[in-house]
Structures are given as C-alpha cells and as structure tokens.
Amino acid sequence: MPVGVEAAPLLAALHGRAFPPAEAWGPDAIAMMLGLRGAFALLAQEAGEPAGFGLARTVADEAELLTLAVRPDARRRGHARALLVGIAADAAARGARALFLEVSETNAAARALYEGVGAVEVGRRAGYYADGSAALVLRLQLET
C-alpha cells in the first residue's frame, strides 16, 4: 500500500525494529527522504498490522531503493519480496528502466532476496558500512 510523508513516524518505528540502533532512521530523516522529488514508499501489512516498508526514489530513467525494512517477527513470510516487487513495478511505472540498491556483503539474506529477483552486482564500495563491510551495488533491470 502506498504511503506518504504523513506515515514517517510509523515508518521510522518499523525501521527502528528492523535495524540496529546506530543504523535506524528517525521520522525526520524519513520525512525528508519522502519529500525528495520522485520519492515514494510502500507499506506491507500482516493481519492488519504494519509489517515492513520500502522507500525508493525515481529520477529520470533510474530508481534507487533507499531502504527496505521488515519487522524481525514478520520476516521469512514474503513481505520483503512483495515490497521489492512492488517498488520495482512502481518505479517502472514512473519511467525507470533500472533499480539500483546497496547491500552489505555480509547480509546473506538480503543478497539472496535481491539476487532472487534478478539483481546483479555492478559495483562495490569498500568499507562503506560502520562495521567495515563493503557495500555491493546491485542493478535490477525493470520492465517498462
């Protein structure tokens, strides 16, 4: 379900549950990102409760997945994949031909998700994350 800047507090609460405290985004950061030109977010629900969200931005013919967060107790139920597929479809509808994202080389679950939908590694940023791990830059070709 699409959500806007009014959902920033809810999205920040979800982000805080999905990521370590040092990596969690607050409501002001999420509201700022949602205020960017071309930004959009999708919310996943489970039994009427927020389960996770994806936040992306489309500029010209490219999109970037800014974050994808699912509550730990709602993981492994298809929410992340559904959000990713929804983000990709929305980005394509906005004219994007490719979706880019970054993922830690140590995040096996996220890497499997992204590779499972066809994202391929196109770059690497050494030492990108606070733990010293590299960020893999992935590209997903979109159908327009």
Catalytic residues: 102, 114
Return the structure tokens found at 24.
Answer: 């969690």
* Residues ≥6 apart with Cβ < 8 Å to 36: 57
3 state DSSP class of 58: strand
DSSP code for 19: S
Strands (E), the chain: 2-3, 39-46, 49-59, 62-70, 98-104, 120-125, 135-141
CA 102/CA 125 separation, integer angstroms:
9
CA 79/CA 36 separation, integer angstroms:
25
